[in-house]
Chain A
Amino acid sequence: MPRSRKLTVQAPWRELATTERDWQRADASLLATTLVSLHLIRAFEEKVLELAGQGLVHGPAHSSIGQEGGAVGSALALRSSDQINGSHRAHHQFLAKSLHFVAPQGLDPAQPVSDSTQALLQRTLAEIMGLSQGFCRGRGGSMHLRWADAGVLGTNAIVGGGVPMAAGAAWAHRRAGTGDVAVTYFGDGAVNIGSVLETMNLAAAWKLPLCFFIENNRYAVSTEVGEVTAEARLSSRGQAFGIPAWKVDGMDPLAVHLAMQEALAIMREGGGPTLIEADVYRFFHQNGPLPGSAFGYRTKEEEAEWRERDPLDRVAKAMVERRLIDEAGVAGLRERARSAMERAAAELLDTGGKKPAVRADLWPSPDFRDAHVRGDLSELASARYVEQEAYGGTLEPRKFVDSVAEVMHRRMESDERIVVMGEDVHRLKGGTNGATRGLAQAFPGRCLGTPISENAFVGLGGGIAMDGRYRPVVEFMYPDFMWVAADQVFNQIAKARHMFGGDSAMPLVLRTKVAMGTGYGSQHSMDPAGIFATSPGWRIVAPSTPYDYVGLMNSALQCEDPVLVIEHTDLYNAKFPSPVDDLDYCIPLGKAKVVRPGRDVTVLTYLSMVAPCIEAAERLGVDAEVIDLRSLDRAGLDWETIGDSIRRTNNVLVVEQGSLGTAYGVLLGDEVQRRFLDWLDQPVQRVHGGEASPSISQVLERAACAGPEEIEAGMRQVMAAQGRPLD
C-alpha cells in the first residue's frame, strides 16, 4: 500500500469581491473617471456597430459592449509608462488605457468632452475604418490598434498571439528597473493556446512584471468555456506556474480595480507575474449588432440577467447614492458621449449622397501598400564596411564557431543593450556547439537559458525588440523549430512594423544553424532560408566565412529589422582565415560577393555550398562565376552584382543543399528569369536536395542533400545545355 501525502501549490488564488463599504470609500475622482470612460467606450462601440451596419467598417467589428468594466477598472490602476496589449476584441482596452493617458488627472462627468479626448475617439474610429489618420495609418484596423505613446503595444488578431510580445515588454521593464509593468488582455478562448501557457511559464520562471488579464466572457465565438476545458475557473491556470491569481467580477469595475492594485503591488516589487480573471459578458455576438441568442448558443434570459449587471449602471448607481452625480447628470454624460461620437464620425464621412460614405480623401493611398514592410537601413548609414580583401587587421586560422562567439562577446561588451537567449546557450561551454561560449560568464543576466518553448521565447524577444530599449539575439537550436514558433516568427515579428503602420522597429537577431550532415534526421535538418524568404519583414544573411559572419552580424545587430542569421554545422569546425583584432567592421546587408570570377555560368549560392561550388568548378574545368549571395531576403538580393554576372555568362545555376519543397532557389529562379530572360541561354538550372526531409541513416541523409557530386552534375548539365558538353 503506497503512502500518499496531500500536496499544495504555493501560489495564492483567491476571489475578490467589493463590499458596500468599498464603494463608499472609493475615491470620488476614480469613480467619476470610471463612469466617463465607460460611457465614452459604450458610445464608441455603438457607433462602430452602427457604421458596420451601414457597411462603412470593412472587416469585423468585434464589439466590447457589456464588458467595458474589466478594461476600465484595470487600466485606471496603471500609470502611463505601464503597457498593455490585447487581442481581436480590444477597442475598450485600447480606449481605456489611451483615455487614461490623455487625461491622467481624470475625467469629469459634468465637463464637455475635451479636444484631446475628441481627437482620440476620432483617430481610433478612423483606424477601425481603415483611414490614413488612424493610429496605424489605417493598416491595422479594428484588430491591430497600437499607440506606443499611450502604452498600447498593439492588439492582435491571433488568439493569444500578443501574449509573448507583452512578456518582452515586461522583460524590458524589469531589466530597466523602472517598476513598470505590462498587462496582456485575452479572453477565455485564448487560455488554452500554447502561446499563453508557454508565456505563463516563462514569465513566472523569469519573474517578469506581466499581468495575464483574462476577460472571461464565457464564449469563444459560440463555444461555451465549459465545453472546452475541465477547469472552467480560468484563474486556476496560475496555480500550475506559481502565479498569484485573482478571480473577480468584471461587471464590477471597482472590484477589478482593487484586484489590479493588489497585482501591481506584487509586480512592481519584483514578485513576478500575476493573473486576473474577470468574469464579463459581451451583450452582442462575437461580431456585429445581433445578440448571441440570435445564433442559438445562449438564451435571451441569460443575456437579460447579465444586462441587469451593466457596469455603466453599477457605477452610476453607486455615484448617485453617494450624491456624486444625479440621474440628469448621467443622462447628460450619455448624451455628450453620443454626440462626441457623432462628431467623430461626421469628420470621417461624406453625407452628401444618398447613403453616407467614407470621405474619399481619407483613404490611404494604394501605393502605401508595401511601405514599411521593412526599414530603410538608414541606421547603417555610418557603418564602416570593410571587405576581407581590404581588411587592415590580422587574419589567423580559426574555427568558424569561435568567431561566432567572439563577435557576440565583442558586441555585448560595447553595447549594453544586447541580450542573448535560447535553449542551453548559457551552459555546455556555449550551447550545443560553442557558439555562445563565454557569454554567460562575461555578461551575467544577459545570456539567458530558456525553457523549451520557442514560440514563447522568440515572441518575448520580439516584444523586447519592439520595446526598443534592448536588442535581443535569439537562438533556435535547429531551424525546424521555426514551425513550432511559426506564429511569433511569421505573424508577429515579421509583420509588426508594417501592420502597425510603420513607426515601430523590430531589431531582433535570430540565429540558427543548418545541421544537414549531422544525422539529426527529418525534423532537425532543414535550411530555413526558403521559408523565411517568403515572409516579408525578415532580412536573411547566410555567411560562408567567419570574416563575412563577423561583418554581417555587426550589421544585423545595428539593423532595426528582424534579421535571421543562418549558420551551418559543416562550417563551425572548419578553419578559415579569421579576424582576431578588429571585430567592429560591417558587411553590407544586401551585398553579394563574386568569390570566383568566370565566364561560363553564374553560380548563385550561399552558406556551406560556396566552397564546394568553387571546388567543383576547378575539378571540372568549368569557368564558373561563383557568387556568394550572403543576403537572401527579397530586399537583400544584390541584383546589381547578380545581373552584371548574368549579362556576361548568360547561364545561371542556383546551388543549395536542402530539400526541394522548402528550397530557396524557387524564389531566386523566378526573379532571375523575370529580370533576365533575354540574357538567358537556358532555363535557370538548380541544384538542391531531394523531396524528402533528410533521414537519420547516413546513406539516406547523404542522398537527401545536395553535395559535390550533385554540384558537378549540375555544372555538367548547364554546360551541355549551352552546346558545350564537358565530355
Chain B
Amino acid sequence: MAIEIKLPSVAAGMEEATLVRWVKSEGESVAKGETLAELETDKAVMEVEAEASGVLGRVLVPGDTDGVPVGTVIGVLMEPGEEASALANYPAEPPAAAEPSPAGAPDGAPADTPRSDRADTAPVPRSPRAAEGAEGRVFASPLARRLAAERGIALEGLAGSGPHGRIVRLDVERARDSAPAAVAAPAEETVAASSERVETIPHSGMRKTIARRLSESKQQVPHFYLTIDCLLDELLALRERLNAKGERAEPRYRLSVNDFVAFAAARALRRVPEVNASWSDEAIRQYRDVDICVAVATSGGLVTPVVREADRKGLATLSGEIRELAHRARDGRLAPADYQGGGFTISNLGMYGVREFAAIVNPPQAAILAVGAVEKRPVVRDDQLAVGSLMTLTLSADHRVVDGAVGARFLAELKVLLEDPLELLV
C-alpha cells in the first residue's frame, strides 16, 4: 500500500508550513525514521520523517513551496517491492516549483498550486482545523470569515464579540481599521511599479507570524510602560568572580548580565505572581510555574524560546539552557515544545548599545521586560556625584492584567535583586 506523506501538525495552532526542500528524491530508498523533507513553520525548521521504510514514490508538492496547509499530501511513499502502479491515483508531474508570480498578482506571492488552492477555498475553514481539536476551533460568522479572507486578516488572534465568542463582522472591521492596511496597499503598488529598484522578499512563515501576533498585540493589548534604572556594580563584581570559577568548572560556564536578569526576574515573578499571568475573556490566568521566554534574534526573525521553571534552576544551569536555546534558535532547529508557552518574556538589546526601549507584549502574556545596555553613568552616591554601572529596564504590561502599582512592585523587587545580589540567595 502506498503511504501518503502528509504535512504534519506539530503544534497546536499550526496551520501551514513552508516545504523548504526534499532531502530525498523520487525513486530514492528511505529507511523508517529517515528525513524525507524539511519544513519551516512560523517558528522553526522541522523534519518530515519516513513512517516506514520504502521508496519515495512521488513528490506532490515541490520544495520551496510556501503556505502548504497542514494535512496536505506532499508525497507518496511506496513500500519495498511495490509496483509503480500503486501511484496511479497521484499526478505524475509535481506542480511547478515556485516561480515569480505573474505580473499584476496582487501580493507578489509565488503562484504555486497550494496557494491557489487556498485562495479558492479561502472563506471555508480548512480541514486541518479539525485536527487541532475542539480547542483550536475558531468560531466566526460566515461573513466575518469572508471579510477576513478578503482583507488578509487572520481570524485566530481576533477576540469575538458575538455569542460564544463568535468573531463577527465588527471584530474584523476593528482589526482592519487598526491595521496599517490602508498604508500597505499603496506601498505595495509602489513596490510593483518600481520592481527593478526594489527587491521583493516574500514573507516567510515566521515573518507572517511575527507581523500578525505583534500587530494584534499592539492593537488589542492596552500597553503601559514602566522604566527603572538598576545600579549593577555589585552584580558585575559577583559575575566576575563567578566567571573566574566557571572557567575551571565542569561543565564550564560563563554568565552574562542577561543570565542574571533572567535569574532575578524569575525570583521577582515568584514574589509578584500577578505579573506571571495572561488575559482571556473569561478570566485572568495566573501561571503556577515561572516559565520565562528569552527573545532571540535570528536571521529569519525574532523567536522566543522558553526556559521552564526558571525560578527552580541554578544560575549556571539557567545560563546553559539559555545559551543552548539561543543556539538552536539561530540554527532554526527549535522544536515546538521549545517555544510554546511561557508566562513572561525578556528582551535584551543591550549588546547593541541600546540604552532603553519599550517592547511589545508577547500575547497572551501580560508583560515583557526590555533590557538595555550596562553603561557607566554618573550617579549620586551619598550626595556625591560618582560613576556607577547602570542598566535601564522597561516593563511593558497589559493593563487588563497588570495594574500600574503591580508592575511597579515587580520592578522594585527586581531592582533590589539586581542591585543587591545577596538577595538572590534568599
Alpha-carbon distance A680/B147, docked complex (angstroms): 11
Please, which residues of chain B bring their CB within 8 A of the CB of A678? 123, 142-143, 145-146
A721-B142 in contact given A650-B169, A681-B168 (Cβ < 8 Å): no
B379 at the interface (CB under 8 A from A): no
A723-B142 in contact given A678-B123, A682-B162 (Cβ < 8 Å): no
Interface flags for A709-727 (1: CB within 8 Å of B; 0: not) read 0000000000011111000
Alpha-carbon distance A724/B166, docked complex (angstroms): 13
Inter-chain contact B141/A680, CB cutoff 8 Å: yes
Inter-chain contact B161/A723, CB cutoff 8 Å: yes
Inter-chain contact A681/B163, CB cutoff 8 Å: no
Inter-chain contact A724/B143, CB cutoff 8 Å: no
Inter-chain contact B171/A680, CB cutoff 8 Å: no
- Residue of A at shortest CB range from B162? A721
Please, which residues of chain A bring their CB within 8 A of the CB of B171? 723
A119 at the interface (CB under 8 A from B): no
Please, which residues of chain B bring their CB within 8 A of the CB of A391? none
B170 at the interface (CB under 8 A from A): yes
A679 at the interface (CB under 8 A from B): yes
- Residue of A at shortest CB range from B143? A681
Please, which residues of chain A bring their CB within 8 A of the CB of B170? 722-724
A677 at the interface (CB under 8 A from B): yes
A722-B168 in contact given A678-B123, A682-B162 (Cβ < 8 Å): yes
Please, which residues of chain A bring their CB within 8 A of the CB of B163? 682, 720-721
- Residue of A at shortest CB range from B159? A723
- Residue of B at shortest CB range from A650? B143
Alpha-carbon distance A650/B141, docked complex (angstroms): 10
Interface flags for B348-388 (1: CB within 8 Å of A; 0: not) read 00000000000000000000000000000000000000000
Alpha-carbon distance A679/B150, docked complex (angstroms): 13
Please, which residues of chain B bring their CB within 8 A of the CB of A721? 162-163, 166, 168
Please give the distance in Å from B166's CB to the nearest CB on chain A.
Answer: 8
Interchain CB contact (< 8 A) of A682 among B123, B141, B145, B146: B141
Q: Which of B62-80 contact A (CB under 8 A)?
A: none
Please, which residues of chain A bring their CB within 8 A of the CB of B143? 650, 678-681
B144 at the interface (CB under 8 A from A): yes
Most chain B CB neighbours (cut-off 10 Å) among A678, A679, A724:
A678
Alpha-carbon distance A677/B161, docked complex (angstroms): 19
Alpha-carbon distance A722/B171, docked complex (angstroms): 9
A722-B162 in contact given A680-B141, A681-B143, A682-B168 (Cβ < 8 Å): yes
Please, which residues of chain A bring their CB within 8 A of the CB of B169? 650, 681, 722
Q: Which of B111-168 contact A (CB under 8 A)?
A: 123, 141-146, 160-163, 166, 168
Alpha-carbon distance A425/B338, docked complex (angstroms): 85
Alpha-carbon distance A724/B174, docked complex (angstroms): 13
- Residue of B at shortest CB range from A717? B163
Please, which residues of chain A bring their CB within 8 A of the CB of B168? 681-682, 721-723
Please give the distance in Å from A681's CB to the nearest CB on chain B.
Answer: 4
Most chain A CB neighbours (cut-off 10 Å) among B145, B160, B163, B171:
B163
Inter-chain contact A680/B142, CB cutoff 8 Å: yes
Please, which residues of chain A bring their CB within 8 A of the CB of B166? 682, 721
- Residue of A at shortest CB range from B174? A723
Please, which residues of chain B bring their CB within 8 A of the CB of A679? 142-143, 146
- Residue of B at shortest CB range from A646? B143
Please, which residues of chain A bring their CB within 8 A of the CB of B160? 723
Please, which residues of chain B bring their CB within 8 A of the CB of A650? 143, 169
- Residue of A at shortest CB range from B171? A723
Interface flags for A670-707 (1: CB within 8 Å of B; 0: not) read 00000001111110000000000000000000000000
Please, which residues of chain B bring their CB within 8 A of the CB of A724? 170
Alpha-carbon distance A721/B168, docked complex (angstroms): 8
Inter-chain contact B161/A681, CB cutoff 8 Å: no
Please give the distance in Å from B409's CB to the nearest CB on chain A.
Answer: 35
Q: Which of A498-527 contact B (CB under 8 A)?
A: none
Alpha-carbon distance A722/B170, docked complex (angstroms): 7
Alpha-carbon distance A719/B96, docked complex (angstroms): 48
Most chain B CB neighbours (cut-off 10 Å) among A679, A681, A682:
A681
Alpha-carbon distance A678/B148, docked complex (angstroms): 12
Alpha-carbon distance A650/B145, docked complex (angstroms): 13
Alpha-carbon distance A681/B142, docked complex (angstroms): 6
Alpha-carbon distance A720/B168, docked complex (angstroms): 11
Most chain A CB neighbours (cut-off 10 Å) among B160, B162, B171:
B162
Inter-chain contact A677/B142, CB cutoff 8 Å: yes
Please, which residues of chain B bring their CB within 8 A of the CB of A680? 141-143
Please, which residues of chain B bring their CB within 8 A of the CB of A722? 161-162, 168-170
Alpha-carbon distance A180/B145, docked complex (angstroms): 68
Alpha-carbon distance A12/B319, docked complex (angstroms): 119
Please give the distance in Å from B407's CB to the nearest CB on chain A.
Answer: 30
Alpha-carbon distance A99/B170, docked complex (angstroms): 73
Please, which residues of chain B bring their CB within 8 A of the CB of A720? 163
Alpha-carbon distance A650/B162, docked complex (angstroms): 14
- Residue of B at shortest CB range from A725? B161
Please, which residues of chain A bring their CB within 8 A of the CB of B144? 681
Alpha-carbon distance A650/B169, docked complex (angstroms): 9
Please give the distance in Å from A726's CB to the nearest CB on chain B.
Answer: 14
Please, which residues of chain A bring their CB within 8 A of the CB of B123? 678
Please, which residues of chain A bring their CB within 8 A of the CB of B161? 722-723
Alpha-carbon distance A679/B142, docked complex (angstroms): 7
- Residue of A at shortest CB range from B124? A678
A723-B146 in contact given A681-B141, A682-B168 (Cβ < 8 Å): no
Interface flags for A557-594 (1: CB within 8 Å of B; 0: not) read 00000000000000000000000000000000000000
Please give the distance in Å from A635's CB to the nearest CB on chain B.
Answer: 26
Alpha-carbon distance A525/B307, docked complex (angstroms): 71
Alpha-carbon distance A724/B163, docked complex (angstroms): 11
Alpha-carbon distance A677/B146, docked complex (angstroms): 10
Alpha-carbon distance A680/B142, docked complex (angstroms): 6
Please give the distance in Å from A594's CB to the nearest CB on chain B.
Answer: 21
- Residue of A at shortest CB range from B170? A723
- Residue of A at shortest CB range from B141? A681
Please, which residues of chain A bring their CB within 8 A of the CB of B162? 681-682, 721-723
Alpha-carbon distance A679/B144, docked complex (angstroms): 8
Q: Which of B163-208 contact A (CB under 8 A)?
A: 163, 166, 168-171
Please, which residues of chain B bring their CB within 8 A of the CB of A681? 141-144, 162, 168-169
Alpha-carbon distance A681/B160, docked complex (angstroms): 12
Please, which residues of chain B bring their CB within 8 A of the CB of A677? 142
Alpha-carbon distance A680/B123, docked complex (angstroms): 13
- Residue of A at shortest CB range from B123? A678
Please give the distance in Å from B302's CB to the nearest CB on chain A.
Answer: 32
Please give the distance in Å from A609's CB to the nearest CB on chain B.
Answer: 25
Most chain B CB neighbours (cut-off 10 Å) among A682, A721, A723, A724:
A723
Alpha-carbon distance A682/B162, docked complex (angstroms): 8
Please give the distance in Å from A620's CB to the nearest CB on chain B.
Answer: 18
Alpha-carbon distance A678/B149, docked complex (angstroms): 12
Alpha-carbon distance A722/B141, docked complex (angstroms): 10
Alpha-carbon distance A678/B161, docked complex (angstroms): 18
Alpha-carbon distance A13/B160, docked complex (angstroms): 81
Most chain A CB neighbours (cut-off 10 Å) among B123, B143, B162:
B143
Most chain A CB neighbours (cut-off 10 Å) among B123, B145, B169:
B169
Please give the distance in Å from A717's CB to the nearest CB on chain B.
Answer: 9
- Residue of A at shortest CB range from B149? A678
Alpha-carbon distance A722/B163, docked complex (angstroms): 8
Please give the distance in Å from B141's CB to the nearest CB on chain A.
Answer: 4
Please give the distance in Å from B420's CB to the nearest CB on chain A.
Answer: 50
Alpha-carbon distance A461/B78, docked complex (angstroms): 75
5 A-B pairs in the complex with CB atoms less than 8 angstroms apart = A681-B168, A681-B169, A720-B163, A721-B162, A722-B170
Q: Taking A682-B163, A723-B161, A723-B171 as given, write out 11 further A-B residue pairs in contact, using a Cβ cutoff of 8 Å, ordered by the A residue number.
A: A650-B169, A677-B142, A678-B146, A679-B142, A679-B146, A681-B142, A681-B143, A681-B162, A720-B163, A721-B162, A721-B168
The 7 closest A-B pairs by CB, nearest first: A723-B161, A723-B170, A681-B143, A681-B141, A681-B169, A677-B142, A678-B146
Which A residues are closer than 8 A to B by beta carbons? 650, 677-682, 720-724
Which B residues are closer than 8 A to A by beta carbons? 123, 141-146, 160-163, 166, 168-171
